[in-house]
Amino acid sequence: MSSSVSTASIARAVIASLALAGASLAAHAETLTVYSAGPGALINSLAADFKAETGIEVNVFQSTTGQVMARLEAESANPLADVVISASWDSAVDLDAEGLLLNYQSANAALVPDFLKADTYVAQGVSALALIWNRNSSTPAPTDWHDLTNPAYADQITMPDPAQSGAAFQLLTGLISAEGEDATWELISDLSANGMIVPGPNARALNPVLQGAKSVVFGAVDYISLGQQANGEAIDIIFPTSGTVIAPRPMMILKSTQQPAAAKQFIDFVLSEQGQARVAESYLMPARTDIPALRPTINELNIITVDEAVNGQREAILQRFAEAVN
């Protein structure tokens, strides 16, 4: 900044930048605000299609479930979101229990199975948990969760952190429901003894396996890997023979919305044939049973039913998990 630059011209530049930032980002009164976890491409195309059909603009905030929920919590004095899409079923159950959600049953939800909807929320789509195995690795292809305790997989396993991934937590509750507490914690301890690392949420567990630093992910959400496989990554998505759990992605309308009609229209749209086809394109299972999927669906997979009582013990399960892997 030489002396020839006057303070006035700096001030002008600041004001201009401020105006630019403000003008380009100012929120419209007539727009719907959607907070969405999960694929950015999916929510962006849903928003664009919805605008084309109804003329209603959609402002999207897309991030991880954790960020979406933190933002909702921080905004709770003056909530801004109209519709929320989470990747964790629990978060919808909790928000519902707090009385923050609007009652709405979409006519398009008629073909969504009962266990994927409630009075205040409904699934957008569903993923399942799987073993993701690198075909170029020197390890054999696993067929079940328990295979990974085999010395052949020593120091070759990653697992998403159940504290940071709702889906990985769901896997723990599923295993506890199917095999009991003792067997589940013994399995996790054995995996840990076999050198399993827990590097963070889904993508952090997956990346080392893609490059080949590790060979297999224990319990990753499947749709991301199905997309990567379609793009040519040398990985296989293996659904364990003893069964797996699903991770439905709840959509809900906040009771505080100023535009309940538009919000309901949006839910209807996501559950329409067109919206569900978009969901299918991202390698998720559509929530509606009549829409074809690009992948194995609930009917073809061996699904473990999660015991509701187990679901409620989040703190205790995460605590026990931390002990088992340390």
Partner 1 sequence: MRSTAFFAGLRAPNSASLVMWLTALAVLMLVGLPLLFIVLQAIFPGFSRGEFAGAFSHFAATLGNADLIRLLLNTLQLGLAVVLVCALLAVPLGALRALTRVPGGAVWDILFLIPFMIPPFIAALSWMLTLQPRGYAQQLIGLDANDFLFSFAGIVFVMTLNVFPVVYFAVSRTMMSIGGRYEAAARVSGASRWRAFWRITLPLSTPGIAASLLLVFALTIEEFGTPATLGAQAGYDVLVTGIHNRFSDWPIDIPGAALLSLLLVLLAMVAFYLQHWLVTRRSYVSQTGKPSANVQSELGVWRWPVLLLFGVTAAAAVAVPILAVLATALTRTLSGGLALNNWSLRHFDALLNHSSGALPALGTSLSLAVAAALLTGILGALVGYLVVRAQVRGRRVLDLLSLLPNTMPGIVIAVGLILAWNQRFWPVQIYNTGIMLLLAYTCLLLPYPVRYSQAALRQMSENLEAAARVSGAGFITTFRRILLPALAPSLVVAMLLVFAIASRELVASLMVAPAGTVTVATFVFSQFEQGSPGVGMAMSAVAIFTTTGLLVALTVFSGKRLPINP
What is the distance between the alpha carbons of residues 98 and 261, in angstroms, rounded to a whole number? 22
Compare residues 12 and 241 and give the one whose CB is closer to partner 1. 12
Distance in angstroms (rounded) separating the CA atoms of residues 26 and 18: 12
Distance of CA 67 to the CA centre of its chain: 12
Which of 109, 267 has the CB closer to partner 1? 267
Which is closer to partner 1, CB of 19 or CB of 183?
19
Closest approach of Cβ 135 to partner 1, in Å?
A: 8
User: Least CB distance from residue 228 to partner 1, whole Å?
Assistant: 5
49 versus 243: smaller Cβ distance to partner 1: 49
Angle 68-74-76 (CA atoms, 0-180°, nearest 5)?
Answer: 100
At its nearest, how many Å lie between partner 1 and the CB of residue 110?
30
Q: What is the dihedral of CA 96, 100, 104, 106, to 10 degrees?
A: -80
Closer by beta carbon to partner 1, 1 or else 261: 1
Helices (H) and strands (E) in the chain, counts: 12, 10
Q: Rounded to the nearest 10 degrees, what angle do helices 273-281 and 260-270 cross at?
A: 60
